[in-house]
Amino acid sequence: MLMTPAAAEIAEEYLASWRRVAVYSELALMAENDDKDWDNVIGRDGEEYKVLLYVLPDTGGGLRMIVAVNNRRRGPSTPSTTRESVMQPDGTFTK
């Protein structure tokens, strides 16, 4: 997988921010409705990136929070840089 340092940094920042504000019930609703959030950002390398955030069910009742970052200039065939974390029903996180 092609991973630029800027894409990895963006993915880490978005996941850390999301984890600070995440509420299990809101994540469950997001997963149930197949909702996705996205944002366009400029990385420290000057490239434009698309950030996609979505939630999938995980084993044991957890919810997998996924952040995928793509370089917009390289097109959709370029692999994403992803980061993820799992929130358990009690609000704790595992990786």
Quote the pLDDT of residue 60: 86
Can you give the pLDDT at residue 2?
53
User: How does pLDDT run across 38-53, given as a tens digit for each residue?
Assistant: 999 999 999 999 999 9
The answer to whether the CB of 72 falls within 8 A of the CB of 39 is: no
Q: In 3D, which of 18, 3, 10, 14 has the Cα closest to residue 48?
A: 10
pTM: 0.89
59-to-20, 28, 29, 55, 63 alpha-carbon distances in Å: 22, 13, 17, 13, 8
Cα dist from 56 to 12, 28, 53, 81, 86, whole Å: 18, 9, 10, 17, 9
Distance of CA 33 to the CA centre of its chain: 17
